[in-house]
Amino acid sequence: MRVLSSFQHLLLIGMPNAGKTYIGHYLSTLYNIPHYDMNQETKSYLPQNESSLLEWYFYRKQEYQFLSRQLQSSTPSIISLGDGCIEYAPVYHLLYNQNVSFIIHVIPSQQNPETIPLWMKRAKYYFSISDIDYWNDRVSSPQSLLSEIKQELDKNKEN
């Protein structure tokens, strides 16, 4: 079963705590498609030292390799991407230039004041590759957000 009529994979991008994993798990159950949480898939590579640039690049490279393998697979999947992977140029270019995925940008209802500068830095990347942008604060509950996304996916599936 295809995620959408002309796309093989559904990717969820956004800042931490936006709901990417929650939405991915829900859609996975709804459509009976495997869901991969990039943070869980690559957690063994997480940098031990936040300030180590070398460890950061190694971790991002692992994310890139996992994502590349998934996007080449003919098996449909839903992937919740790590929030920072968008800053790694190979991942950004892979997402920007590919045509097998449908990308949903989930924007949290409340931005943590400490993450606002980071979001300002990443927003242009998120918006430039997303097919749909969902603002959590424009819906009354997580269930209504999921309902909106499902309606959009079903609408695209019919076209």
Q: What is the pLDDT along the chain (159 residues), one digit of tens a residue?
A: 334 445 688 899 988 888 888 889 988 888 888 999 988 888 777 666 666 777 788 888 888 999 999 999 888 899 999 888 888 999 999 988 876 678 888 777 666 787 788 888 888 998 888 888 877 666 556 677 677 777 777 776 655
What's the pLDDT score for residue 1? 34
User: What is d(CA 63, CA 67) in angstroms, rounded to the nearest whole number?
Assistant: 6
User: What is d(CA 74, CA 84) in angstroms, rounded to the nearest whole number?
Assistant: 26
User: What is d(CA 48, CA 28) in angstroms, rounded to the nearest whole number?
Assistant: 31
Contact 89, 125 (CB under 8 A): no
> CA triplet 45, 123, 36: central angle to 5 degrees?
40
Q: Is 154 exposed, middle or buried (0-12, 13-18, 19+ CB in 10 A)?
A: exposed
What's the pLDDT score for residue 142? 61
Q: What is the fold of 9-158?
A: Rossmann fold (3.40.50)
What's the pLDDT score for residue 89? 92
